[in-house]
Each structure stands twice: as C-alpha cells, then as structure tokens.
C-alpha cells in the first residue's frame, strides 16, 4: 500500500499537477479564482457571524440573515474548495511539507466542526432567540470561533505561499 509521501509525490508529478504548475495562465487563474471565492465566501459569512455575536445586522432576525447569507457562502466555499484542490495538486509536496499548510488544514477542520455543531445543535433553539439583538452565549461563541478560525485559515494560507517555514 502506498504511503502518504508517495501519493503526494505522485500527485505533484502527475499530468494535472505538472500542467497546472508549469502553465503560464492556468496557475494564476486558478489562484485568482481561489482568492475571489474566498473573499465571497468568508466575506459574506462574516456578516452572519457578526449577527450571531450581536455586533451587526441587529435589526434582522438571525434566521433571516442565515437564510440569505448561507447559500452565497456555500457557493463561494465550493468554488474555493475545488480551486484549492487544484492548487494543492500542483504543489502537493511543498504544501505537505509546509507547517503553515498543516495549520491551515487544522483550522479548516475547526471551522467545519464549529459550523456542524451550530447547524445540528445550536440552531435547534433558534426560535427562542431569533429576534434578540444579542443571541445566547452558545450562538455568540459559534460566531466568534467561526471568524477566528477563518481568519487563521486565511493567514496560514497566505503564509503557505510565502514559504517561510
């Protein structure tokens, strides 16, 4: 059975990986798409998180903000995820060895878990606090963790490209 480093090595040197990496246009286009999708996805998600924390959009019920923001954030996330996989494919070995990239993946998982817990558990009682300007502690915490973990994903992601460690 192949171990992780050999899979990574194979990815980087596959036709797709090499093709993206060595193309004049494909890499910049995929990278730009990744950054734009990030700004779309996280940029709008922040407003839901701020609403959860009671810091913004206080005039709107939480469920309304959720319903309006989430489809957009989700579309952005899918584009970001797909373009991210392509970027990883082309620089698999660099990413695999990068401490920042590993940190980024951890924060990504944290953001995912946080969102999962909110959607499956915290949101159940939303009817009780939907219209409060400031939601209960559990919901505020979900908003805070989301903002912090996404900021960490962005910081670690940018640092991966600088190749500092």
Residues that bind other proteins in the complex, under the rule CB under 8 A: 28, 31-32, 35-36, 38-40, 42-47, 50, 56-60, 64-65, 68-69, 72, 151, 154-155, 158-159, 162, 164
CB of 11 or CB of 46, closer to other proteins: 46
State the Cα–Cα distance between residues 35 and 165, nearest whole angstrom.
22
State the Cα–Cα distance between residues 89 and 95, nearest whole angstrom.
9
CB of 7 or CB of 29, closer to other proteins: 29
The candidate with the shortest Cα–Cα distance to 124, out of 113, 112, 134, 136, is 136
The candidate with the shortest Cα–Cα distance to 35, out of 143, 160, 149, is 160
In order, the DSSP letters of 28-94 are HHHHHHHHHHHHHHHHHHHHHHHHHHTSS-TTS-HHHHHHHHHHHHHHHHHHHHHHHHHHHHHTHHH
- Distance between first and last Cα of the chain: 30
Smallest gap from Cβ 2 to other proteins, in A, equals 34
CB of 11 or CB of 42, closer to other proteins: 42
The candidate with the shortest Cα–Cα distance to 101, out of 149, 148, 155, is 155
Smallest gap from Cβ 141 to other proteins, in A, equals 20
CB of 126 or CB of 159, closer to other proteins: 159
CB of 8 or CB of 149, closer to other proteins: 149
Smallest gap from Cβ 28 to other proteins, in A, equals 5
Smallest gap from Cβ 163 to other proteins, in A, equals 10
Smallest gap from Cβ 107 to other proteins, in A, equals 14
């Amino acid at each position: 059975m192949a171990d992780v480093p050999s899979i990574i090595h194979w990815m980087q040197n596959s036709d797709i990986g090499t093709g993206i990496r060595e193309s004049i246009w494909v890499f910049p286009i995929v990278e730009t798409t990744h950054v734009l999708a990030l700004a779309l996805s996280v940029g709008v998600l922040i407003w839901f998180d701020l609403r959860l924390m009671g810091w913004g959009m206080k005039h709107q019920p939480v469920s309304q903000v959720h319903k309006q923001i989430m489809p957009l954030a989700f579309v952005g996330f899918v584009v970001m995820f797909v373009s991210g996989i392509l970027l990883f494919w082309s620089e698999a070995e660099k990413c695999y060895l990068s401490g920042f990239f590993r940190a980024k993946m951890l924060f990504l998982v944290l953001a995912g878990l946080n969102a999962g817990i909110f959607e499956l558990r915290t949101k159940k009682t939303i009817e009780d606090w939907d219209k409060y300007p400031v939601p209960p502690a559990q919901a505020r915490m979900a908003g805070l963790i989301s903002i912090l973990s996404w900021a960490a994903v962005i910081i670690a992601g940018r640092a991966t490209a600088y190749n500092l460690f």
